[in-house]
Amino acid sequence: VTIPDAFYVPAGPECDAIGAAWRAGLPVMLAGPTGCGKTRLVHHMAAVLGRPMVTVTCHDDLTSSDLVGRFLVAGGDVRWVDGPLTTAVRTGALCYLDEVAEARRDTLAVLHSLLDDRRALYLERTGETITAPPGFMLIASYNPSSRSILKELKPSFRQRFVTIALDYLPPEAEAEVVRHEAGVDTAVAERLVRAATALRQAETSGVKEVPSTRVLVVAARLVAEQLPESLAVDIGLLNPLSSTGPVGDAMQELLRAAGLGAAGIQAHG
Ligand SMILES: Nc1ncnc2c1ncn2[C@@H]1O[C@H](COP(=O)(O)OP(=O)(O)O)[C@@H](O)[C@H]1O
Ligand SMILES: [Mg+2]
Candidate from 94-98, 145-149, 174-178, 222-226 with smallest mean pLDDT? 145-149
Q: Which residue has the higher pLDDT, 254 or 102?
A: 102
Predicted local confidence at residue 264, as pLDDT: 47
Q: How confident is the model at residue 243 (pLDDT cuts 50, 70, 90)?
A: low
Look up the pTM and report it: 0.92
d(CA 3, ligand 1 centre) in Å: 18
Which percentage of the chain shows pLDDT scores above 90?
73
The answer, yes or no, to whether any atom of ligand 1 lies below 6 A from the CB of 83, is no
Average pLDDT (205-232) is 90
Q: Which of 82, 102, 87 is nearest to 54 (CA)?
A: 87
Which ligand sits nearest to residue 55's alpha carbon?
Answer: 2
The answer, yes or no, to whether any atom of ligand 1 lies below 6 A from the CB of 36, is yes
User: pLDDT tens digits, residue range 103-115?
Assistant: 999 999 999 999 9
d(CA 215, CA 178): 10
Tell me: pLDDT of 183 over 90. Answer: yes
d(CA 60, CA 76): 32
Predicted local confidence at residue 220, as pLDDT: 97
Tell me: pLDDT of 205 over 70. Answer: no
Other beta carbons less than 10 A from residue 136's beta carbon = 24
Q: Which of 42, 44, 46 is nearest to 8 (CA)?
A: 44
Q: Which residue has the higher pLDDT, 266 or 84?
A: 84
Average pLDDT (183-197) is 94
Q: Quick one: which atom of ligand 1 is closest to the CA of 6?
A: 4
| Structure letter (DSSP) for residue 154 | P
Structural element, H or E, at residue 74: strand 69-74
